[in-house]
């Protein structure tokens, strides 16, 4: 904000600053206040701009396609955008831009993209009867530009992401998502109350899903939960894979039964089989009595296996039998025990890659990978930050008996700019340290090591390497999407060996498995 001097102040910069400060103030007023504010401004302003355009051109009837394009592109460009038309027909209008009317500060408030969506969609729906707005790329999400498609035909829009307007308007879509979120939260809290009947300061777990990618996860949970399908959850450490597994259990018909969770990577290889399948007395040194494993204790309910990729070869073999046959034998035992368990596994690795490397059984992978659900990293969930911060601050306030209501705008900008390699878990730890040392009701300092501008480097070699890396990363992502995660095809397209492609995937923190749709039903979050 202070990078522009007072003498350089312009009406556009003033309005950009005013809107961004207004958004920060709205963040502090509650979880839905900022969204309601954005929607209200977009709805009323869109009508005003359309009426102004009509009066100036003396248009009484519904806008023609050419007039609609002239209105939305001209509207954005007159307030500092860089919009241009990419393509247009009776099915879809696609526009792109190179700069945002809200300025670079929009990266701190990606939810402002909702305003563009509602203005474009609202005007289109009033004139063509229906619209769905898909924002494929956005400056707010640091994509380098915006790519917006306005679908005017419901059949053409079917299956595409975005907000709908018209006879199924965005308010109804938002209400549907709010209702779904409420149902999932209520189901999880019901189980929490049964688990903890006595009063406790601990808050029940909640899933924050204001970002489009996390809303897709909620929709996937609703579809997956009522089935008996085995689920494989993929995602980086700390994104909340166990929380999603608990939500699937809570929304299933097994919710009245046990939910058992075990981290396979935290148990030594010598004990993992006993932990999973139990053991008989005398099975090994120290086995002084019969011990049930988690499969038996979860009978009738749900078993969550985290870090399933770390299982030993012997444990994988035993697990395959349970998954296939629904029966097991305790370590050292000869009696077959039948179990009825819904299995949900999780990994932060590419299991397909581990299969190709001979580190994971192919037949077990296919059994676990019936439905694959990918949880996006926190860095891709910009719209969730204000709500996550509020939930965490409330929990920490009750834990430490402190009243910490908010974070300053500078701190929120820092939170949005940081890459969060530890995801939600890291955010919780950072905020906990801040709450411990803050003296007032607002956090104004945050212990985060931000990359310094000097770290980028100002010599030609650094700049060139950075450009090449960005291009390579973008090509990899596009090629993975095109070939649906087939590393061999990606390698052929890049004239590399599959081994070299795996090395680049590791370098850029990318997971080929998230782009695959087969085997199994792939529900990408």
Q: Which of 37-51, 311-325, 397-411, 453-467 has the highest mean pLDDT?
A: 311-325
* Angstrom distance (rounded) from CA 92 to CA 495: 36
pLDDT tens-digit map of 17-38: 666 666 666 655 544 556 667 7
Element (DSSP H or E) covering residue 414: helix 409-417
pLDDT of residue 20: 66
* Angstrom distance (rounded) from CA 156 to CA 276: 48
pLDDT of residue 220: 92
Please, is 142 exposed, middle or buried when counting C-beta atoms within 10 Å of its C-beta (0-12, 13-18, 19+)?
A: middle
Work out the average pLDDT over 361-389: 90
3-class DSSP state of 519: coil
pLDDT of residue 475: 79
Q: Which carries the bigger pLDDT value, residue 7 or residue 58? A: 58
Longest dimension (CA), the chain: 92
pLDDT of residue 469: 67
Q: Which carries the bigger pLDDT value, residue 432 or residue 114? A: 432
How many degrees, rounded to 5, is the angle at CA 499 between CA 494 and CA 505? 70
Q: Which carries the bigger pLDDT value, residue 61 or residue 202? A: 61
- What does the domain layout of the chain look like in residue ranges? 6-166, 174-376, 379-443, 458-515
Q: Which carries the bigger pLDDT value, residue 145 or residue 282? A: 145
Percent of the chain whose predicted confidence (pLDDT) is above 90: 24
pLDDT of residue 295: 92
Residue 198 clears pLDDT 70, i.e. is over it: no
458-515, what's its fold? Arc Repressor Mutant, subunit A (1.10.10)
Domain 379-443 in CATH 1.10.8.60? The answer is yes
Write the DSSP string, 229-293.
--EEEE--TTS-HHHHHHHHHHTSTTTTS-EEEEEGGGS-HHHHHHHHH-B-TTSSTT--S-B--
Residue 456 clears pLDDT 50, i.e. is over it: no
Would you tell me how many other CB atoms lie within 10 Å of the CB of residue 59? 15
Q: Which of 152, 149, 156, 113 is nearest to 131 (CA)?
A: 152
Q: Which carries the bigger pLDDT value, residue 469 or residue 125? A: 125
Residue 345 clears pLDDT 90, i.e. is over it: yes
Pairing outcome for strands 371-374 and 231-234: parallel
pLDDT of residue 288: 67
Write the DSSP string, 200-224.
-SPPPP-----SHHHHHHHHHHHHH
Work out the average pLDDT over 327-334: 85
Cα torsion 20, 21, 24, 28 to 10°: value is -150
pLDDT tens-digit map of 219-233: 999 999 999 999 999
Would you tell me how many other CB atoms lie within 10 Å of the CB of residue 78? 11
pLDDT band at 362 (very low <50, low <70, confident <90, very high): very high
* Backbone φ and ψ of 497, nearest 5°: -85, 155
pLDDT of residue 109: 72
**Inter-axis angle of helices 65-78 and 33-57, to 10 degrees?**
120
Q: Which of 86, 89, 171, 169 is nearest to 132 (CA)?
A: 169
Lowest mean pLDDT among 63-72, 248-257, 512-521: 512-521
Chain position carrying tokens 């399908």: 229
pLDDT of residue 519: 45
* Angstrom distance (rounded) from CA 446 to CA 434: 6
Work out the average pLDDT over 78-91: 84
Lowest mean pLDDT among 139-143, 246-250, 376-380, 459-463: 459-463
CB 100 within 8 A of CB 83: no
The contacts of residue 310 (CB under 8 Å, 6+ apart) are 264, 265
pLDDT of residue 206: 83
Work out the average pLDDT over 416-436: 91
pLDDT of residue 8: 61
pLDDT band at 254 (very low <50, low <70, confident <90, very high): very high
Q: Which carries the bigger pLDDT value, residue 406 or residue 28? A: 406
Residue 357 clears pLDDT 70, i.e. is over it: yes
Q: What is the spatial order of strands in the sheet that 146-151 belongs to? A: 83-88, 92-97, 146-151, 130-137, 163-166
The contacts of residue 4 (CB under 8 Å, 6+ apart) are 13
Partners of 338 in the β-ladder: 327
Helix ranges (H only) for 28-169 are: 33-57, 65-78, 113-128, 154-157
Residue 417 to residues 25, 254, 324, 377, 385: CA-CA distances in angstroms? Answer: 19, 41, 46, 14, 11
Residue 265 clears pLDDT 50, i.e. is over it: yes
Domain 6-166 in CATH 3.40.1350.10? The answer is no
Please, is 219 exposed, middle or buried when counting C-beta atoms within 10 Å of its C-beta (0-12, 13-18, 19+)?
A: middle
- CATH no. of 174-376: 3.40.50.300
Work out the average pLDDT over 393-420: 86
CB 277 within 8 A of CB 329: yes
Q: Which carries the bigger pLDDT value, residue 101 or residue 152? A: 152
Token pair for residue 204? 């029940």
3-class DSSP state of 100: coil
DSSP 142: T
Work out the average pLDDT over 346-352: 91
pLDDT of residue 457: 45
**Inter-axis angle of helices 313-325 and 269-277, to 10 degrees?**
20
> Average pLDDT of the chain?
81
pLDDT of residue 424: 92
* Angstrom distance (rounded) from CA 337 to CA 432: 45
pLDDT tens-digit map of 131-183: 898 888 888 888 888 899 999 888 888 878 888 887 444 455 566 777 888 88
Q: Which carries the bigger pLDDT value, residue 203 or residue 438? A: 438
pLDDT band at 451 (very low <50, low <70, confident <90, very high): low
Would you tell me how many other CB atoms lie within 10 Å of the CB of residue 7? 5
Please, is 16 exposed, middle or buried when counting C-beta atoms within 10 Å of its C-beta (0-12, 13-18, 19+)?
A: buried
pLDDT band at 97 (very low <50, low <70, confident <90, very high): confident
* Backbone φ and ψ of 337, nearest 5°: -115, 125
* Backbone φ and ψ of 64, nearest 5°: -75, 165
pLDDT band at 116 (very low <50, low <70, confident <90, very high): confident
Work out the average pLDDT over 391-409: 87
Residue 1 clears pLDDT 50, i.e. is over it: no
């Amino acid at each position: 904000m202070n990078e522009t001097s007072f003498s350089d102040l312009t009406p556009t910069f003033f309005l950009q600053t005013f809107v961004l400060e207004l958004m920060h103030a709205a963040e502090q007023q509650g979880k839905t206040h900022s969204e309601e504010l954005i929607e209200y401004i977009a709805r009323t302003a869109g009508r005003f701009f359309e009426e102004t355009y009509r009066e100036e051109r003396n248009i009484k009837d519904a806008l023609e396609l050419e007039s609609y394009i002239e209105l939305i592109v001209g509207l954005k460009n007159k307030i500092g955008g860089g919009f241009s038309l990419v393509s247009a027909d009776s099915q879809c209008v696609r526009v792109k831009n190179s700069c945002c009317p809200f300025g670079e500060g929009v990266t701190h408030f990606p939810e402002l993209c909702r305003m563009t969506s509602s203005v474009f969609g609202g005007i289109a729906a009033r004139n063509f009867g229906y619209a769905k707005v898909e924002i494929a790329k956005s400056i707010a999400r640091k994509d380098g530009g915006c790519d917006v498609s306005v679908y005017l035909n419901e059949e053409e829009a079917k299956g595409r992401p975005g907000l709908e307007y018209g006879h199924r308007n965005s308010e109804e879509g938002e209400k549907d998502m709010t209702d779904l979120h409420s149902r999932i939260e209520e189901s999880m809290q019901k189980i929490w109350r049964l688990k903890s009947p006595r009063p406790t300061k601990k808050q029940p777990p909640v899933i924050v899903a204001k970002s489009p990618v996390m809303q897709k996860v909620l929709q996937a949970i609703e579809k997956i939960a009522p089935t008996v399908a085995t689920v494989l959850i993929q995602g980086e450490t700390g994104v909340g894979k166990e929380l999603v597994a608990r939500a699937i259990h809570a929304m299933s018909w097994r919710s009245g039964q046990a939910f058992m969770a075990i981290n396979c990577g935290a148990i030594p290889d010598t004990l993992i089989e006993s932990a999973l399948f139990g053991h008989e007395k005398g099975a090994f040194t120290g086995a002084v009595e019969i011990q049930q494993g988690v499969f038996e204790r979860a009978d009738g309910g749900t078993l969550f296996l985290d870090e399933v990729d770390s299982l030993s070869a012997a444990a994988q073999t035993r697990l395959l039998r349970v998954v296939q046959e629904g029966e097991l034998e305790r370590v050292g035992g000869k009696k077959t025990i039948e179990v009825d368990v819904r299995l949900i596994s999780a990994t932060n690795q590419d299991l397909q890659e581990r299969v190709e490397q001979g580190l994971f059984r192919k037949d077990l992978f296919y059994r676990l990978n019936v439905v694959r659900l990918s949880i996006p990293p926190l860095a891709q969930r910009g719209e969730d930050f204000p709500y996550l911060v509020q939930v965490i601050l409330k929990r920490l306030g009750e834990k430490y008996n402190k009243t910490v209501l908010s974070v300053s705008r500078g701190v929120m900008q820092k939170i949005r700019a940081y890459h969060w390699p530890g995801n939600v878990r890291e955010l919780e730890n950072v905020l906990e340290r801040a709450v411990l040392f803050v003296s007032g009701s607002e956090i104004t300092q945050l212990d985060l090591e931000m990359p310094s501008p000097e770290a980028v480097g100002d010599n030609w070699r650094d700049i060139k390497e950075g450009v090449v890396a960005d291009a390579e990363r973008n090509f990899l992502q596009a090629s993975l999407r095109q070939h649906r995660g087939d590393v061999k095809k990606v390698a052929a397209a890049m004239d590399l060996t599959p081994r070299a492609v795996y090395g680049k995937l590791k370098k850029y923190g990318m997971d080929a498995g998230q782009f695959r749709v087969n085997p199994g039903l792939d529900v990408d979050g």
